[in-house]
Structure 1
């Protein structure tokens, strides 16, 4: 029976590896760019790889680079990362119903590897996602992100100093690239981005708070106001519908 169980887990792990290949390929250019930008932001290759090993969250790592460049404190960076990744609570809750019952330790290990991409692959899988499948998907995506972050840093180190310094502009281009697709899908995101940018500008131009706290406060404030507006709008629609 033990041999059968091991064989089943091995088979599921292989299926997970196959399903995760597309994620690994997709991470290649993003992780490569992150490593390059990390080099131009002043991080060593050890710090760059360690961040990918410990954090494993693309958007948060990019934001961290900009905050580090501003000289933001550790607490503000951690808080901003938490806010950006708060959606992972919802994703983890959803996958709890999708994944098979297993030891808490196994769930704790593979929950670390939940990203937008791994969540999409697992959530759309037919049937129950086994522990072996989860580990397979995450093994490919995680190793791809970590390895290519280091490769990107090495490539950045070989570039001329002038070009390295000019690459800091690519960080803002990356943020725009991440934001625009979401803005096309939802007007709500457009208002959220505009309001957040306005608050951040007000806080920084008037020197009301440090850059790091300005970003954190602007993000929270704009999110609360947009959601409050959404609630009031839905409530108004409900009243109109009853009439």
Structure 2
């Protein structure tokens, strides 16, 4: 009994140590989400529920942006599912290492399997067999830090003067623009991004914002796919 308790304490302390870098990064990002959600007039309880139930930074930021633009609920749900589809790959990757886990334990761990938690878990799985206590402490610490950050951001948003909040509302579009620039490394990426932006402006000018939220990215992505295929064919010729 004493040996089992000592091993459990060792696993939990190891997981906490591995989780601290994740938590230190999650708090400011989640605070930014809470702040932007508040500035975009999303009720605090909805922002908290998003962090509690969705627990996915990219999806939450995108949902705030779409909600601020007046997107309907089906668009919000579809966008969230598309953005989070990559998590299925995480589960497939780690699944063979969790064959002796109970189904309930797998479901609990799957909920907290974010990008960063997956990266740490996959690296540690090469060193030893993952255990539920380790993974729960790792993902639980990350989850808690995300909630703390969200609450902090909401409180900051409620304390911001109205004059300053009007300026900070531009922070969300600027955030996505910065992310777009960082991930755009090819000419095709720039063409797709530019086309999507132009189409979005046109639909907004026509007062068809909700329709534009669907058609603009689909049309731009289709053009990007065609360009990639033409480029590949020319390279093979």
Q: Same fold (TM over 0.5)?
A: yes
The answer to whether the Cα contact below 8 Å between 1:45 and 1:154 also exists between their aligned partners in 2 is no
Task: Give, in angstroms, the shift of residue 27 of structure 1.
Answer: 1.2
Pairwise CA RMSD: 2.6
The aligned counterpart of 1:109 is 108
Task: Give, in angstroms, the shift of residue 168 of structure 1.
Answer: 0.5
1:9-158 aligned at under 5 Å gives the runs 9-99=8-98, 101-125=100-124, 126-127=126-127, 128-158=129-159
- In the alignment, the residues of structure 2 paired with residue 93 and residue 218 of structure 1 have an alpha-carbon distance, to the nearest angstrom, of 32
Are 2:214 and 1:216 equivalent residues in the alignment? yes
Q: What CA deviation, in whole Å up to 9, does each residue of 1:82-129 have, x standing for no partner?
A: 222222222222222354531121111111112222222222333343
TM-score, with length taken from structure 2:
0.85
The answer to whether the Cα contact below 8 Å between 1:79 and 1:216 also exists between their aligned partners in 2 is no
- In the alignment, the residues of structure 2 paired with residue 139 and residue 63 of structure 1 have an alpha-carbon distance, to the nearest angstrom, of 24
- In the alignment, the residues of structure 2 paired with residue 35 and residue 192 of structure 1 have an alpha-carbon distance, to the nearest angstrom, of 30
Give unpaired runs (5+ residues) of structure 1.
Answer: none
The alpha-carbon distance between structure 1 residues 68 and 86, as it changes in their structure 2 partners (threshold 3 A), is same
Task: Give, in angstroms, the shift of residue 8 of structure 1.
Answer: 3.7
The alpha-carbon distance between structure 1 residues 228 and 110, as it changes in their structure 2 partners (threshold 3 A), is farther
The answer to whether the Cα contact below 8 Å between 1:98 and 1:123 also exists between their aligned partners in 2 is no
- In the alignment, the residues of structure 1 paired with residue 223 and residue 216 of structure 2 have an alpha-carbon distance, to the nearest angstrom, of 11
How many residue pairs match? The answer is 235
SS in 2 for 1:102: coil
- In the alignment, the residues of structure 1 paired with residue 2 and residue 9 of structure 2 have an alpha-carbon distance, to the nearest angstrom, of 10
The answer to whether the Cα contact below 8 Å between 2:188 and 2:227 also exists between their aligned partners in 1 is no
The aligned counterpart of 1:176 is 177
The alpha-carbon distance between structure 1 residues 121 and 167, as it changes in their structure 2 partners (threshold 3 A), is same
Give unpaired runs (5+ residues) of structure 2.
Answer: none
SS in 1 for 2:112: coil
The answer to whether the Cα contact below 8 Å between 1:10 and 1:132 also exists between their aligned partners in 2 is no
1:200-211 aligned at under 5 Å gives the runs 200-207=200-207, 210-211=208-209
Task: Give, in angstroms, the shift of residue 77 of structure 1.
Answer: 0.9
Task: Give, in angstroms, the shift of residue 201 of structure 1.
Answer: 3.3
Task: Give, in angstroms, the shift of residue 37 of structure 1.
Answer: 1.2
TM-score, with length taken from structure 1:
0.83
The answer to whether the Cα contact below 8 Å between 1:196 and 1:219 also exists between their aligned partners in 2 is yes
